[in-house]
Every structure is written in C-alpha cells, then in structure tokens.
Amino acid sequence: MSSILPTIVADNFFSNPEDVVKLSKKYKYHKPTKINNWPGKRSECLHLKNYDFFKQIILKVLSYYYPNVELTFRNSAVYFHKIKPNDIGKNHFHFDTNYDIAAIVYLSQGDINTGTTIFNKDNKKQIIVSNDFNTMICYDTKKYHGPTSLNLVKERTTLNIFIKNIERKV
C-alpha cells in the first residue's frame, strides 16, 4: 500500500453516533502506562469485547483510502479515549510509528481548539480540524500530529483507530 497517504476529514462518520457514545460508557478506562505518552484514559481495545464493531470501523476508515477494494489488516487497535480538563500527557504532539493509518472520530462536541492538528514535513501546522461531533479525521501516521490544545474546559471523548499491515485480499 502507499507510503504517503492524504489526510481525510469526513462528517457523519457513524449513522448512529448516540449509540456509539452509549457504548463508550460501558467500557472501563485505564491510565497510560509508563511507556505510553497519551493524556487521559483509554478503554481496552474494542476487538476484545466487540470484534464485529471493531472490524466495521477499520474497514470503513480504509474505504476512504481504498474504495471498492477488499482489504485485510492485522495488528490494529481501536479504543475509546477520554481526556478531561487538566489531564496531561508526556508528549503533546507525536508520531504513531507502530501503525500505518490513524483516525479519530469525535464523540463529544468541542471546537477548533479541542480538535486535531496535523503538521507538514517541515513541522509547520498544515491542517487543524475542529472537534465536531461524529466527524472523523484520518491521516498517515508518519505525519506529526496531536490534540490542538490540552486546555480543555470539558471532557473530550474520541474513538482512536490505529491500522497496520494493510493488504489486498487475494
């Protein structure tokens, strides 16, 4: 698959976003371990309790890059993620070097400051996407990125998607 992928923003990612928010409340959340750098708390990976939903999400994200192509993936992850005001991560902006594609679906309403910033190869801000409920941003993990600001006034809930080992089905 391609090594340089465009950033894609899609509104209305889920047809039933309120049901997804309800589902997010059924999971237990965990703080990062010492080797993780993200702020807030994450659920366990969705494939452990709801593999069909996990697979549906990943295939939908991949369909934006590879429409009408049957694909497989391995070693991928999907988590619910909550960041509360005053949560601090070890590193604000970062790369996700263990994956090929990352995506975020906003499950709480926010604004341009609680969205996501993507940087260009010169580490200059290239794209800032607002935290609009049920909007998805996906991007090549080689792009430097992160939450635009961690100065939150209310909780930021997202679905974080990491995809790896993408291949055409044979």
CA atoms within 13 A on the CB side of 60: 19
Q: Is the pLDDT of residue 89 over 70?
A: no
Q: What is the pLDDT of residue 149?
A: 76
pLDDT average, residue stretch 2-8: 79
Q: Residue 12: is its pLDDT beyond 80?
A: yes
pLDDT of 112 higher than 90 = no
Tens of pLDDT, residues 54-78? 999 999 999 999 999 999 999 999 9
pLDDT confidence band for 90 (50 / 70 / 90): low
Statement: residue 135 has pLDDT above 70: yes
- Work out the percent of the chain whose per-residue pLDDT is above 70: 95
pLDDT at residue 2 greater than cutoff 50: no
pTM above 0.85, yes or no: yes
Q: Write down the pLDDT at residue 66.
A: 94
Q: What is the total residue count of the chain?
A: 170
Which residues have CB under 8 Å from 110's CB, separation 6+? 130, 131, 132, 152, 154, 156
* Mean pLDDT within 127-143: 94
Q: What is the pLDDT of residue 53?
A: 97
Where residue 40 falls (left for φ over 0; alpha for ψ -120 to 50; beta otherwise) is: left
Residue 18, helix vs strand vs coil: helix
- In terms of phi and psi (left: phi > 0; alpha: psi -120 to 50; beta: otherwise), the region of 68 is left
Q: What is the mean pLDDT of residues 31-44?
A: 85
